[in-house]
Amino acid sequence: MSSMIKVAKRTLINNRRSKYTLPTNTKLYPAQWNWDSAFIALGYSNFNLNYSFQEIDTLLSGQWEDGMIPHILFHIKDLNYTPNYKAWNCGKQVSSSGITQPPILASVLKLIIERQNISKRKMKKYYPFILKIKKCLEWFIKYRDPKRTGLISILHPWESGYDNSPLWDKPMSKVKIEPKLSYKRKDNKIVNPNQRPLKIDYDRYVTIKNHLKKMKYDPKKLYHKSKFNVVDVGFNSLFLKALKDLDFLLDYIDKRSSFLKKYILLNEKKLIKLFNSKKMIFKNKDLKNNSLIEIPSITNFFMLFSDIKNKSVNRSLIKSLKRYCKNEKYLFPSIKPNHKLFEEKRYWRGPIWINCNWIIYQGLKNKDKKFAEIIRKKTINLVEKKKFREYYSCKSGLGMGAKNFSWSAALYLDFILNRS
């Protein structure tokens, strides 16, 4: 076994606490994060299925009664993170944040079940997982698309997972910062502040959060009242894929849902309309301010992951993706480097993220094997050279942000041990 595989496994084990895993062993993220945890569970499935299912079980244990799976679960009352459990002040079973994150868990669970060849009989054990995921995806439709437009909204940039992406600059510029806002950041004391979001972004994150809290996180009110309401191509692509994968899982346990099947068709139709294949541009919608957002972000290409049943759209997406990265030695910059808002080193404004590469690879592997393989190899090489960092420069490969980052280790394992 290569020594890097061993180090990857050790990184995950070292970040593991009782029954869940931290995103890193530094003080930066002292809790369980929703989509981190799903990627981590996938990583474990390559060498320890028990840990994998425990990770998922713990994440689902924080599900709210209405179905939402929070973006952070604070299993330990740690004050080393802002906003901490007191500042959110919610979550019954487990203290949590009051917002969610991309529902990648459905796709991860399907992959694990397929790869492990788990029989229907053995699957019984995991029925509760599938039913909880179903409740979560229904929650999105009910509360994040109450008018049944076919597209899901996010109500805080943190819900996307790509917190300070230039995608949010315009809608965020409209958010009036709460007067006398008081909070103390810790992240920029741990990581070089030039590689973290700006103060003005944080002021607005906390302002939106405080406003959601004032409404007691009532999902019926939030959609209409939140200071931020955006339909994002990346998020909807992950959601559509989650619905399709849940549909597969429900079939497996003979619990089909015609409601979800119908929404899949609607979601796919509406998602395709957000891509103009002639001009090769993506249109994200700022519903709060009734305007369009057109930013060349790698997350737009998550549309490949959603396996749209339209060959010509898929072909245009691939052509456009090849253009997106044609001058780059390292793949994929989170924002196209020739764009005016690109920043080489600042969090989600330019650096490479391993989860994005994994999502794109999964989307490409059944559409353009050769290109997919290039991405797989380039990602493996980058991580082997620069270790398990949180993000990397697309110019020099420089590793940045947290060290010993769990999802970089988990997805490295997944890339290297699962050649398709």
Q: Which residues are catalytic?
A: 163, 390
User: Closer to ligand DGY at the Cβ: 158 or 301?
Assistant: 158
Binding of ligand DGY by 390 (CB under 6 A)? no
Closest approach, Cβ 163 to ligand DGY, in A, equals: 5
For the segment 248-287, give every residue that binds ligand DGY (CB under 6 A). none
For the segment 173-192, give every residue that binds ligand DGY (CB under 6 A). 187
Binding of ligand DGY by 36 (CB under 6 A)? no
User: Closer to ligand DGY at the Cβ: 71 or 227?
Assistant: 71
Closest approach, Cβ 37 to ligand DGY, in A, equals: 12
Q: Which two tokens stand for residue 319?
A: 């052509």
The alpha-carbon radius of gyration of the chain (Å, integer) is 20
Q: Which of 381, 372, 388, 383 has its CA nearest to residue 420?
A: 372
Binding of ligand DGY by 163 (CB under 6 A)? yes
User: Closer to ligand DGY at the Cβ: 71 or 211?
Assistant: 71
Q: Which of 95, 343, 407, 36 has its CA nearest to residue 201?
A: 343
- Considering CB under 6 A, how many residues would be counted as binding ligand DGY? 4
CB closest to ligand DGY, residue no: 158
Question: Would you give the binding string for ligand DGY spanning residues 70-109, x where CB under 6 A is met?
Answer: -x--------------------------------------
| Amino acid at site 259 | F
Closest approach, Cβ 71 to ligand DGY, in A, equals: 6
Cα separation, 37 vs 71, whole angstroms: 10
Q: What is the 3-state secondary structure (H, E, C) of 38-106?
A: HHHHHHHCCCCHHHHHHHHHHHHCCCCCCCCCECEEECCCCCCCCCCHHHHCECCCCEECCCECCCCHH
Closest approach, Cβ 408 to ligand DGY, in A, equals: 15
Query: Residue 135: CA atoms inside 13 Å, Cβ hemisphere, count?
Result: 14
For the segment 120-159, give every residue that binds ligand DGY (CB under 6 A). 158
Instruction: Provide the β-strand partners of residue 100.
Output: 70
Closest approach, Cβ 42 to ligand DGY, in A, equals: 19
**Overall size of the chain counted in residues:** 420
User: Closer to ligand DGY at the Cβ: 204 or 244?
Assistant: 204
User: Closer to ligand DGY at the Cβ: 205 or 388?
Assistant: 205
The H-or-E segment that residue 275 falls in is strand 275-276
Phi, psi at 284, each rounded to 5°: -95, 150
**Cα angle vertex 5, ends 10, 301, to 5°?**
105
User: Closer to ligand DGY at the Cβ: 47 or 183?
Assistant: 183
Residue 183 CA, distance from chain mean position:
26
Closest approach, Cβ 33 to ligand DGY, in A, equals: 7
Residues of the shown chain interacting with ligand DGY in the complex, contacts defined by CB under 6 A? 71, 158, 163, 187
